[in-house]
């Protein structure tokens, strides 16, 4: 590894017109994270002195989207006011690059790793190998061998197979277009040499742009050795210019994430029908069925079963949890041996202790249920605590909202709440109490008492059932 300080320059100024979107291309998402966010995360793993992001189109949106991130202070936003090419874009960042991380005026060199924000699958291990190659060369580039190189810059080599330059598709002749080794757009260079090469780049080409890739030919002409590396997988260097390519890269990313889970002992019923959109960990011997979405920070224990069509967001599931089909879990914590669903919705603030049962069409919000509690079907439990081994029947509602404020319902252990009851908060049900079906409870129910509030049943003689008019 080179002992020079490392600076990363990420090119993120383009509009991305082929996306046909008002949103800057670099803010479109793969797995719930922006393209730029993916590239920044890979760069951060190298622990660079600073990351310089060159922005242009929609710069305010781009900058604002990262304002709340913990590592925002490590980003230096550089504006490219005119879109004059990739070489021009990098030159906008060079004044900020020096060995001290503040400027380039001290005469000392640094390694400059240049990335593009529309290549989101690049791995930090690949980038680290490029930086290591700088110990024996002032220039390293990442290339790939592809079956269809159309539209991509071609790598040219001399008689000894040394890299001699990069020619863009629009500037290539018929022989050069047959070359299937392509430029990934990822280059690492010595900062002082890079300044010299960029000063010599012209815009004498079809696009009339200053190409960053021209520095390769200039380095070769000056007799500098050029290191060329390949990624472990071509998926790493797949770029995105359209919605179609966005969807294709999404599937590449998802396939890679699914493979990692399976390698860690997780059974995935169909790797093509699972979406991981965040920081996800799953324990061994867990089984994930089709059309499951895991989003945000998700921690799933061992031997967990997740049925089809479930969404789990920012939640923790302990060992041996069973999640039945069509269940949504968000901002919740589930203890061991919990059973949820089908068609259940656990909203933020839900905490279920071990062996809790949440049945079909049950909704919880900011609710804590102790060991062995049950809410089997068709009920709403919000802003409530429920004691151990309490059973809440069908159609029960904790009436927590008075139209202006939320109020809490406190239910003790070993309580039985009969079906179709309303608990009007604030209210407390003490241990061992029983609520008769169809009751509306507005005051405290004492321990081991039966509370019932319903109209007296009557039977009316001589009643005739209505018939449909002819």
What's the pTM? Answer: 0.88
Measured CA to CA in angstroms, residue 165 lies from 184, 389, 392 at distances of: 13, 73, 73
Residue pLDDT, tens place only, 124-136: 999 999 999 998 8
Q: What is the mean pLDDT of residues 35-42?
A: 96
Residue pLDDT, tens place only, 394-434: 999 999 999 999 999 999 999 999 999 999 999 999 999 99
Q: What is the CATH number of domain 243-451?
A: 2.160.10.10
User: Above 70 in pLDDT, residue 103?
Assistant: no
DSSP per residue, 431-456: TT-EE-TT-EE-S-B-TT-EE---PP
Q: pLDDT value at position 98?
A: 67
Q: Higher model confidence: residue 15 or residue 91?
A: 91
Per the annotation, the verdict on 407 as an active-site residue is no
Range list for CATH 3.90.550.10 in the chain: 6-237
* Residue among 389, 337, 387, 338 at smallest CA distance from 362: 338
Q: Which of 38, 52, 377, 407 is flagged as catalytic?
A: 377
Q: What is the mean pLDDT of the chain?
A: 93
User: Above 90 in pLDDT, residue 145?
Assistant: yes
Q: What is the mean pLDDT of residues 13-39?
A: 93
Confidence of residue 60 (pLDDT cuts 50, 70, 90): very high
The residue to which tokens 């930090």 are assigned: 124
Q: What is the mean pLDDT of residues 312-325?
A: 98
User: Above 70 in pLDDT, residue 107?
Assistant: no
- Does residue 390 contact residue 407 with C-beta atoms inside 8 Å? no
Percentage of the chain beyond pLDDT 70 is 97
- Angle at CA 312, nearest 5°, toward 247 and 260? 60
The CATH classification of domain 6-237, taken from the options 3.90.550.10, 3.40.50.300, 2.40.440.10, 3.40.50.970: 3.90.550.10
- C-alpha 306/C-alpha 328 separation (Å) is 11
Q: pLDDT value at position 206?
A: 79
Range list for CATH 2.160.10.10 in the chain: 243-451
Q: Which helix (H) or strand (E) holds 248?
A: helix 243-263
């Amino acid at each position: 590894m080179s002992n020079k300080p490392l600076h990363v320059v990420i090119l993120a100024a383009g509009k991305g017109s082929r996306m046909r979107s008002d949103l800057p291309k670099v803010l479109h998402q793969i797995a719930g994270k922006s393209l730029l966010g993916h590239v920044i995360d890979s760069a951060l793993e190298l622990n660079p002195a600073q990351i310089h992001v060159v922005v242009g189109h929609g710069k305010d949106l781009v900058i604002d989207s990262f304002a709340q991130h913990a590592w925002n202070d490590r980003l230096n936003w550089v504006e490219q006011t005119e879109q004059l090419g990739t070489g021009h874009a990098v030159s906008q960042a060079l004044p900020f690059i020096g060995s001290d991380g503040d400027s380039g005026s001290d005469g000392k060199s640094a390694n400059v790793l240049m990335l593009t924000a529309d290549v989101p699958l690049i791995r930090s291990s690949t980038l680290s190998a490029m930086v290591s190659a700088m110990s024996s060369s002032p220039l390293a580039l990442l290339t790939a061998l592809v079956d269809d190189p159309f539209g991509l810059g071609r790598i040219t080599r001399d008689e000894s197979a040394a890299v001699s330059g990069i020619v863009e598709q629009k500037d290539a002749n018929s022989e050069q277009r047959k070359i299937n080794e392509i430029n990934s757009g990822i280059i690492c260079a010595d900062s002082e040499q890079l300044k010299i090469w960029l000063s010599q780049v012209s815009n004498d080409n079809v696009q009339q742009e200053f190409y960053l890739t021209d520095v390769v030919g200039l380095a070769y002409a000056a007799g500098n050795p050029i290191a060329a590396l390949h990624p472990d997988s071509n998926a790493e260097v797949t770029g995105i210019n359209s919605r179609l390519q966005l969807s294709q890269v999404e599937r590449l990313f998802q396939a890679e994430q699914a493979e990692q889970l399976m390698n860690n002992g997780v059974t995935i019923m169909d790797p093509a029908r699972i979406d991981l959109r965040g920081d996800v960990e799953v324990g061994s011997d867990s089984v994930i069925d089709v059309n499951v979405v895991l989003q945000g920070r998700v921690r799933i224990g061992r031997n967990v079963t997740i049925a089809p069509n479930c969404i789990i967001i920012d939640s923790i599931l302990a060992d041996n949890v069973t999640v039945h089909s069509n269940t949504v879990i968000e901002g919740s914590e589930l203890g061991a041996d919990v059973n949820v669903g089908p068609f259940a919705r656990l909203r933020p603030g839900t905490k279920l202790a071990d062996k809790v049962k949440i049945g079909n069409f049950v909704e919880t919000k900011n609710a804590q249920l102790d060991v062995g509690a049950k809410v089997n079907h068709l009920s709403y439990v919000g802003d409530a605590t429920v004691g151990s081994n309490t059973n809440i029947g069908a159609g029960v509602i904790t009436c927590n909202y008075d139209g202006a404020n939320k109020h809490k319902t406190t239910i003790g252990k070993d309580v039985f709440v009969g079906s179709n009851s309303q608990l009007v908060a604030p209210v407390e049900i003490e241990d061992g109490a029983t609520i008769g079906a169809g009751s509306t409870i507005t005051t405290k129910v004492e321990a081991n008492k039966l509370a019932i509030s319903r109209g007296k049943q009557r039977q009316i003689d001589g009643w005739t059932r209505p018939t449909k008019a002819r």
